[in-house]
A = this chain, B = another copy of it.
Amino acid sequence: MQNSCMIDSKLKVLQMVAQHGTVTAAAEALHYTPSAVSYRVRQLAEELGVELLAPSGRGIALTAAARVVLRHAEALYAEAERTYTELAATADEPTGLFTLCGFSTAASRLLPPAASDLRERFPQVTLRVIEAEPVRCFDLLLSGDADLALVTNTAETPPASDERFDQKPLLDDPLDLVVPEGHRLTRLPGVDLADAADEPWIVGSPGTTYHHLVMNACMTAGFTPNIAHQADEWETGTALVAHGFGIILVPKLARLQDWPVVRLPLAGESAPVRRVLAATRKGKRDHPLVAAALDRISSSSTLPPAQEGA
C-alpha cells in the first residue's frame, strides 16, 4: 500500500532517527544520506520552533520535545492508517500493493497460501512476500515496506504496549521433540519435555530467536539443557539428530526433510509452544486485506488458535 502520504515525511525521518539511535542508521533505513536526514530534522525543528536533537557523545540524543512530537506522531500515523482502512473498506475493490512479511517458517508455510488466496480474491492487488526476522519485520512495518507481519515475540521485539503497532495473537505453534529413530524416548507412551533433560541438545546460535525459545522451554520444564551443538537451520539440526549427536525442538509448523528421525509431540500441561503474532501498524488491524489474510491463515492452519494469556 502507500507509504503514508497525508503525514509530512519529516516526521517519519524523526521517527527513524529515534528508532535507530543515530542519524546515519536512520539514513540507511530510509535509503537517504546522513546529511539529508540531518537537514530534514533540522527543518522540522525550525518549523516547530523547538530543538529536537542534541549532540551526545559522537552521536545525538532526542530532546524532551522530540519525545513529545514522537508520541503524537504515533497517534497521527494511527489515524492515517484508519483512513486508509476506511477507504479500502468503502472502495468497491482494493487495489495497489500489499506486502506480507514473516519469519522463516511463517514465510514458507503460512504466507504463500494466504497470499495466493488474496491474489485470487482481489485481482487488482499486487501481492508481495518478504521473509524477515521478527525485528526486521517491525522495521518493515514502520517504514511502510510491509503491511502485515507474522512474528514471534522475542526480547528484541517491541512490547505489546508500543503505540506504533497492533499485535494480535494468531496461532500457538507447539514444539515437537525430534530424536533419532530407535531412541529410548520413542518407547515411552507420552513424552514430556522434562524426560529429555539429560539428552545432549542442539540449539540455535546464542542470540537467535530459536536459541532463546529452546532455552526458555527447558527452563520452564525445570532443567538447563546440555548444549552439545549449535545449528540455526532445521535441516542442519535434523541431520545432526539423525547422526545421533543430540536432539532438537522444532515447531509443528516447520517441515523436516526426510531423515531417519522421529518427531515426538510433547505432552503435558507445560508443553512448550511458540506463539505466532500478527502485527500491523496501529490503526490498520481492520483493513479489509489484513482481515482477509488473517482469516485465511487462522482458518486454514491445522494449528490451534492462540489461547488468551497462554
Chain A interface (Cβ < 8 Å from any Cβ of B): 1-2, 5-8, 10-11, 44, 47-50, 64-65, 68-69, 72-73, 75-76, 79-80, 82-84, 86-87, 90-91, 95-96
Task: Quote the shortest CB–CB distance from A84 to chain B (angstroms).
Answer: 7
Find out whether the CB atom of B90 lies under 8 angstroms from the CB atom of A48: no
The oligomer's copy count stands at 2
Find out whether the CB atom of B68 lies under 8 angstroms from the CB atom of A90: yes
Which single member of B1, B5, B76, B87 contacts A6 (CB below 8 Å)?
Answer: B76
Which single member of B1, B65, B95, B96 contacts A91 (CB below 8 Å)?
Answer: B65
Task: Quote the shortest CB–CB distance from A137 to chain B (angstroms).
Answer: 24
Find out whether the CB atom of B72 lies under 8 angstroms from the CB atom of A86: yes
Task: Quote the shortest CB–CB distance from A5 to chain B (angstroms).
Answer: 4
Counting chain B CB atoms within 10 Å of each CB, which of A65, A87, A96 scores highest?
A87
- On whether A8 and B7 interact (CB within 8 A), knowing A79-B75, A79-B76, the answer reads yes
Contacts of A49 in B (CB 8 A): 1-2, 87, 91, 95-96
Q: How far apart sit A240 and B135, CA to CA, in the bound complex (Å)?
A: 79
Q: How far apart sit A8 and B47, CA to CA, in the bound complex (Å)?
A: 13
Contacts of A95 in B (CB 8 A): 49
Find out whether the CB atom of B8 lies under 8 angstroms from the CB atom of A6: yes
Contacts of A10 in B (CB 8 A): 5-6
20 A–B pairs (Cβ distance < 8 Å), ordered by A: A1-B49, A2-B47, A5-B8, A5-B10, A5-B47, A5-B48, A6-B10, A6-B11, A7-B76, A48-B84, A49-B87, A49-B95, A50-B87, A65-B91, A68-B83, A68-B87, A69-B87, A72-B80, A72-B83, A76-B80
Shortest 6 CB-CB contacts between residues of A and residues of B: A72-B83, A5-B47, A75-B79, A49-B96, A68-B86, A6-B8
Which single member of B47, B48, B65, B79 contacts A72 (CB below 8 Å)?
Answer: B79
Q: How far apart sit A25 and B249, CA to CA, in the bound complex (Å)?
A: 68
